[in-house]
Amino acid sequence: DAGVTQSPTHLIKTRGQQVTLRCSPKSGHDTVSWYQQALGQGPQFIFQYYEEEERQRGNFPDRFSGHQFPNYSSELNVNALLLGDSALYLCASTLLRLRRATQYFGPGTRLLVL
């Protein structure tokens, strides 16, 4: 049973650039959520995708956007990178029809913006 996978594991970008992070959900899951975890902090919810649409969104600017594909995998895009975007980006998946289902997390992508 494949768990949540993310790529790449590490990434270095410069200010103003754009970045795309990828996530494949756990087998059988149809919903993907993205979180940003700054150093020394707890994860913060960015947004959730279900049926290829953004279903919920946290308090993040429009520079953060996403996409979900028919196979339920997802991408997180960040435009016009700022130094403050340096963080661990976590993807989590779940099965939405199970109300209040547990989320399962991937290993994360460490993004460093210089």
Helix (H, G, I), strand (E, B) or coil at 84: helix
Site residue total, other proteins (CB under 8 A): 27
Instruction: Answer yes or no whether residue 39 interacts with other proteins by CB under 8 A.
Output: no
10: Cβ–Cβ under 8 A, 6 or more apart, which residues?
109, 110, 112
Stretch that binds other proteins, among 15-23, 68-76, 78-86, 89-97 (CB under 8 A): 89-97
β-strand partners of 7: 22
Residues 44-63 that bind other proteins (CB under 8 A): 44-45, 48, 56, 58
Stretch that binds other proteins, among 22-30, 60-68, 76-84, 92-100 (CB under 8 A): 92-100
R_g of the chain, CA atoms, integer Å: 13
Instruction: Answer yes or no whether residue 90 interacts with other proteins by CB under 8 A.
Output: yes
Dihedral sign for Cα atoms in the order 21, 80, 45, 113: positive
Instruction: Answer yes or no whether residue 36 interacts with other proteins by CB under 8 A.
Output: no
Instruction: Answer yes or no whether residue 100 interacts with other proteins by CB under 8 A.
Output: yes
- Give the strand order in the sheet containing 64-68: 5-7, 19-24, 74-78, 64-68
Interface residues toward other proteins, by CB under 8 A: 31, 33, 40-45, 48, 56, 58, 88, 90, 92, 94, 96, 99-108, 110
